[in-house]
Amino acid sequence: MDFEVIACVWLLYRRYKRQRQRQREYWVHPILRDRLTHGMFVTLYPQLRQYEPKFFNYFRISIKSFDDLLHVIKVDITGDSTILRDSICAEKLVITLRYLATGCSFADLHYGYRLGKSTIIKIVEQVCKVLWSKLKFISMPEMTTEKWEEVEEGFKKYANFPNCIGAIDGKHIELIQPEHTGSLFYNYKTYFS
């Protein structure tokens, strides 16, 4: 008897879950279908490549550096083309660089580049992993004690900030003006930091 009750409850639960599941309204949303004619990669990217300062302003990277970076990671980010859709490669790097340069939301990228939001998230994640695996030894060489001491000496000499081996950002922390420093700690935001 207990088995029959459990089976009945389970069947009712499955029916309830099926009714609650949202049916897909579209296979590809009409807004996203126009990606190859109206997406930012097709419309804006070629124009930006014609103007180096605008390209740099948009992606925070020069055209030559972009091309070199694409050459380094192209094999790892190129997917398989199928009958349904072509693989996107340069577009993946463009989307990731835009995300990293501005910190804009995935929803903004989703509408601008006309790709699904979950697709954008996967692209950024994949390209960041590839960038890290390919560039970590180039841009972040293994540090030795001598290199750490050189970095600390630079902070002490140029920033008057001893015992520091790195900085994440130029965050201004407001403070009371130290005695006999004049305008040494006065910043462009019009306070001492």
Query: Any idea where the domains of the chain sit in the sequence?
Result: 26-139, 143-193
| CA atoms of 49 and 70, how far apart (whole Å) | 14
Band (pLDDT 50/70/90 cuts) for residue 51 is very high
Kindly state the average pLDDT of the residues 119-123.
90
Provide the phi-psi class of 182: left if phi over 0, else alpha when psi is between -120 and 50, else beta.
Answer: left
Stated pTM of the model: 0.64
Helix and strand totals (H; E) in the chain = 11, 0
| CA atoms of 12 and 15, how far apart (whole Å) | 5
Kindly state the average pLDDT of the residues 72-83.
78
For 5, the 3-state DSSP assignment is helix
Residue 21: predicted pLDDT? 60
Kindly state the average pLDDT of the residues 103-121.
86
Nearest to 75, CA basis, from 62, 87, 65: 87
Kindly state the average pLDDT of the residues 63-69.
92
Is residue 189 scored above 60 in pLDDT? yes
